[in-house]
Structure 1
Amino acid sequence: MTKRKIKNIAIIAHVDHGKTTLVDSLLKQTGTFRSNEAVADRVMDSNDIEKERGITIFSKNASLFYGGYKINIVDTPGHADFGGEVQRILKMVDSVLLLVDAYEGPMPQTKYVLKKSLELGLRPVVVINKIDRHNARPHKVLDQVFELFIELRADDDQLDFPIIYASARDGYSKNEIDDDSEDMISVLDSIIKNVADSQGDLDGPLQMLISASEYDNYVGKIATGKIHRGKIKKNDIVSLLSSNSQLGNFKLTKVYLYDGLARTEVDEALAGDIVSVAGTDNFDVGVTIADKDNPEALPSIEIDPPTMAIEFMVNDSPFAGLDGDYVTSRHIWDRLQREKQRDVSIQVERTDTSDSFTVKGRG
């Protein structure tokens, strides 16, 4: 196995504890945004629902460079409702930043995501945020975090977690609460020191697990995941595998890495990289992209089952019969199928009638 100067991390936190603001501050600190460049607040919240509700639902990637390392950051949902997103993203990273409000402490959704990360053997870096609040109680919150780790049966190494105190909004962090600081260097230094280098067999046959997918109007379906072994090259012919069968071969038409918030096209990517690729519409989360001559599937991603179901049917409300876009059952079915491709935690089923469908998910 070859270690590379790459750190892949996810940020997990309860809603409104400041994870997207923290990412913004780290991007500014490392010069991803120039000093004369306008920076929109909450840069990683791109989905309309996220902007409206102020929460992160779909994970996005960003990257920055610091201390000779490339740090890939994945921003994850803070809600158990979006557990499918959380679980598949944790499969791509080497550690997590656990972000906790300095007054509120760890909240129920923090517990859910932290539990999943500890089960995967990840060792978190704890960031106690919003220490600028007048009612902040960072020492009490630190005790609560430690108690939560014990409750979730963290091992000895996970219990020895590094701690950073921060105000992401004001752009500073520190190792001790009484230290002076005007920047986010303490967070970055802790990532370099405590997060394991991403590693993989650079010379072995290709293995990449798809952890997310989306549709682009220009290049078609795009799959994102971590390369566990080998390298992936534009125009190569590769295999698509499920855990128990081969799904066929296809040509890689696009390969992308992240540079800041931008997705940049490259000719190849290596083991340890988080990469996006295009070339077929048969991508699915949990499927492996592998060398066509030595196809080996990686273990698939297990997603928690749905917790609720809703039936979609013909509109018999006072709005029935009014003009609208995509209101036929066929259009609704097609739209639900596209959403299923994007969010693997939902299930879409036909019912006994042709004009109603059952959608199951976490709510």
Structure 2
Amino acid sequence: MTNIRNIAIIAHVDHGKTTLVDKILHFCELFRENQQTGELILDNNDLERERGITILSKNVSVTYKDTKINIIDTPGHADFGGEVERVLNMADGVLLLVDAFEGPMPQTRFVLGKALELGLKPIVVVNKVDKPNCDPEAAHEAVFDLMFNLDATEEQLDFPTVYGSAKHNWMSDDWKNQTENIAPLLDMVLEHVPAPRVEEGTPQMLITSLDYSKYTGRIAIGRLKRGTLKENQQVTLIKRDGTPVKSKIKEVFVFDGMGRAKVSEVHAGDICAITGIEGFEIGDTIADFENPEALPTIRIDEPTMSMLFTINDSPFFGKEGKFVTSRHINDRLEKEMEKNLALRVEETEKADAFRVYGRGVLHLSVLIETMRREGYELQIGQPQVILKEVDGVKCEPIEELVVDLPEDKSGTAVEMVTMRKGEMLNMEPKGDRMIVTFNIPSRGLIGLRNALLTATAGEAIMNHRFIGFEAYKGEIPGRQNGSLISMDKGTAIPYSINRLQDRGKFFIDPGVEIYEGQVVGENSRAGDMVVNITKTKHLTNIRSAGADDKMRIAPAIKFSLEEALEYIQGDEYVEVTPQNIRLRKILLKETDRKRA
């Protein structure tokens, strides 16, 4: 089987990976002419479509000039690095997408480094050359410099480049010369991506990803390294720790277009899906029944952040959610750990609370958002960074942060990041914007995005990636302002909110149900303040001129889930239900808070 190519598409967020896959699918005539497909075909879950990002990697295959091309679309965020690392094991080459205006960005570096380590040769696609003021040649140079810095080999540095615009459906080897379609890119894939290296011998396959079907159970996905696998074949499953388990394959599928096709046997080099094998995990090897040999398993970067997940025990619990008990939450987290490699869950002293470890606030908030849509109710504590001891020194995770913002606002950004123990490494102008690079503790990133966006009137773009652990940098000042806490359970009355407006900003609208101990706003000063916003106007029978002036209530601040998680303090929880996100104190009664 020489006519197979396995490629992964890697790039920074928003440089156009999923759009490019759409165009390849259309070009290879995967759909009927009259079929309505919409855009971003592969981002098929609601969360991915709303946020416009890829979270889970996807496999599809197309046929071009009698060659089967397996394409793997990968996420661009470093928070989903666990996804990218394991998927690259299935590929023989990568398409590196770079925006012609922005050039390679921090996450590009993260994913490209992983690909070069595995010895994959990249094809560089300079995308979006139709943007005004872009410089495709400078982007090409920047990619070369980046690969040189990442210790690429001579052969990897000799990479082919193609220019074009995925959105306008053309690719060409010269950016000034626009072509009809994206055929030049696919020709380059056939020419430069090697066919899978096939060894003779007993079958070996590393399980790099998994799927679930309620009819057949768990499905193992991976690339067959050597040999052949047939349906109903007896095999040995070698676990990550080396224990062999006898097992039997039921059915074998290969990827065909957007779906899977059932085959009687699959040959080395192709990516396949296998049903019937029980109790496997990602990183296990499917090997020969008589002489099993294991493949090296997948190493995944460890988590850098943790949050406390606990059952919802607020006065409004169980009003909206279907799954509210600790058993429900525990089962759901265990199910998630099977698929989500970079996630870890530990039990705590309390039976109804779990500590969940992940790669960042985004990684964990996507899990919380998914659970909330499935009908779970839960409460989440303040995100904590994982500290560890290295040679007796307390160490914390450090990240590289790149902020892109208007030139006149760069001073503000530098000041805000240095207050959070960040060190500035580099500052370079690009057009009328400034690109500033820092090293900053992961702790300093919590809540920074909000503060930066406010300070730069929404113009700052920030990206960060984990570098490693360094010695603890000392205390970082937290949020300056305290919270406004409700004194009573009831309905928020416009009259009360209006009278308290000079005390701070509110997070709730008039007429909303609230409870004692709920955080209803931000105090304009430091320290918490208990307010009564359920008090109605005292009615008298004396009229006075101008007593009933029109009320002007400022609109409430509405947090997204990530913003809420970054906003809360150590003694607060975010209460997440299918319809609401509320902030509350852990201890609801004021007397209990004073005692504590």
Q: Distance in 2 between matches of 1:179 and 1:44?
A: 30
Gaps spanning 5+ residues in structure 1: where?
none
SS, match of residue 96 in structure 2: strand
Q: Does 1:212 align with 2:209?
A: yes
Q: Does 1:303 align with 2:331?
A: no
Cα deviation code 1:312-336 (max 9, x no counterpart): 1132345334342222111111111
Determine the structure 2 residue equivalent to 1:46.
Answer: 44
What number of residue pairs does the alignment pair up? 360
* Alignment map for 1:54-69 (pairs within 5 Å): 54-69=52-67
Of residues 148, 151, 154, the one that matches 1:150 is 148
Q: Does 1:245 align with 2:232?
A: no
Offset, 1:257:
0.8
Q: Distance in 2 between matches of 1:302 and 1:111?
A: 19
Contact (CA 8 Å) 1:223, 1:276: kept in 2 or not?
yes
Cα deviation code 1:147-179 (max 9, x no counterpart): 111121111111111100011111110011122
The one-letter code of the counterpart of 1:264 is: A
Contact (CA 8 Å) 2:124, 2:159: kept in 1 or not?
yes
Determine the structure 2 residue equivalent to 1:162.
Answer: 160
| Bigger mean CA offset, 128-137 vs 300-309 | 128-137
Of residues 336, 344, 369, the one that matches 1:339 is 336
Determine the structure 2 residue equivalent to 1:192.
Answer: 190
Of residues 27, 30, 36, the one that matches 2:28 is 30
Q: Distance in 1 between matches of 2:37 and 2:58?
A: 17
Determine the structure 2 residue equivalent to 1:280.
Answer: 277
Determine the structure 2 residue equivalent to 1:183.
Answer: 181
Q: Does 1:94 align with 2:96?
A: no
SS, match of residue 112 in structure 2: helix
Offset, 1:35:
2.6
SS, match of residue 110 in structure 1: helix
Cα deviation code 1:87-114 (max 9, x no counterpart): 0001110010000111111111111000
Q: Distance in 2 between matches of 1:52 and 1:43?
A: 13
Of residues 249, 253, 256, the one that matches 1:256 is 253
Q: Distance in 2 between matches of 1:318 and 1:160?
A: 64
Percent identical: 49
Q: Distance in 1 between matches of 2:355 and 2:141?
A: 44
The one-letter code of the counterpart of 1:119 is: E
Determine the structure 2 residue equivalent to 1:236.
Answer: 233
Contact (CA 8 Å) 2:2, 2:196: kept in 1 or not?
yes
Offset, 1:310:
1.0
The one-letter code of the counterpart of 1:36 is: N
Determine the structure 1 residue equivalent to 2:356.
Answer: 359
Q: Distance in 1 between matches of 2:175 and 2:40?
A: 26
Q: Distance in 2 between matches of 1:72 and 1:40?
A: 22
Contact (CA 8 Å) 1:214, 1:341: kept in 2 or not?
no
The one-letter code of the counterpart of 1:325 is: K
Q: Does 1:319 align with 2:308?
A: no
Contact (CA 8 Å) 1:200, 1:229: kept in 2 or not?
yes
Contact (CA 8 Å) 1:311, 1:357: kept in 2 or not?
yes
Determine the structure 2 residue equivalent to 1:127.
Answer: 125
Contact (CA 8 Å) 1:220, 1:280: kept in 2 or not?
no
Offset, 1:182:
1.0
Determine the structure 1 residue equivalent to 2:222.
Answer: 225
Q: Distance in 1 between matches of 2:38 and 2:286?
A: 36
Contact (CA 8 Å) 2:7, 2:93: kept in 1 or not?
yes
| Bigger mean CA offset, 78-87 vs 276-285 | 276-285
Q: Distance in 2 between matches of 1:123 and 1:310?
A: 38
How high is the TM-score relative to the length of structure 1? 0.96
How high is the TM-score relative to the length of structure 2? 0.59
Contact (CA 8 Å) 1:243, 1:298: kept in 2 or not?
no
Offset, 1:132:
1.6
Determine the structure 2 residue equivalent to 1:111.
Answer: 109
Offset, 1:199:
2.3
Determine the structure 1 residue equivalent to 2:431.
Answer: none
Q: Distance in 2 between matches of 1:221 and 1:243?
A: 18
Contact (CA 8 Å) 2:247, 2:278: kept in 1 or not?
no
Contact (CA 8 Å) 1:111, 1:148: kept in 2 or not?
yes
Offset, 1:245:
2.7
SS, match of residue 28 in structure 1: helix
Q: Distance in 2 between matches of 1:354 and 1:174?
A: 60
Of residues 7, 12, 15, the one that matches 2:13 is 15
Contact (CA 8 Å) 1:15, 1:55: kept in 2 or not?
yes
Offset, 1:229:
1.1
| Bigger mean CA offset, 54-63 vs 149-158 | 149-158
| Bigger mean CA offset, 35-44 vs 100-109 | 35-44
Is the radius of gyration larger for structure 1 or structure 2? 2
Q: Distance in 2 between matches of 1:173 and 1:361?
A: 38
Determine the structure 1 residue equivalent to 2:566.
Answer: none
SS, match of residue 280 in structure 1: coil
Offset, 1:299:
0.4
Offset, 1:39:
2.2
Offset, 1:296:
0.9
Cα deviation code 1:17-59 (max 9, x no counterpart): 1101101111111111233322221111012221111111111
Q: Distance in 2 between matches of 1:323 and 1:30?
A: 46
Offset, 1:214:
2.1
Determine the structure 1 residue equivalent to 2:138.
Answer: 140
Contact (CA 8 Å) 2:311, 2:324: kept in 1 or not?
no
Cα deviation code 1:214-244 (max 9, x no counterpart): 2211110011000001111111121110244
Offset, 1:293:
0.9
- After superposing on structure 2, the runs of 4+ consecutive aligned residues of structure 1 that deviate more than 4 Å are none
Flag the structure with more relative contact order, 1 or 2, with Cα contacts below 8 A and sequence separation at least 6.
Answer: 1
The one-letter code of the counterpart of 1:169 is: K
| Bigger mean CA offset, 189-198 vs 343-352 | 343-352
* Alignment map for 1:65-76 (pairs within 5 Å): 65-76=63-74
Q: Distance in 1 between matches of 2:244 and 2:349?
A: 30
Cα deviation code 1:235-282 (max 9, x no counterpart): 112111024433422221221111111111111111101001111341
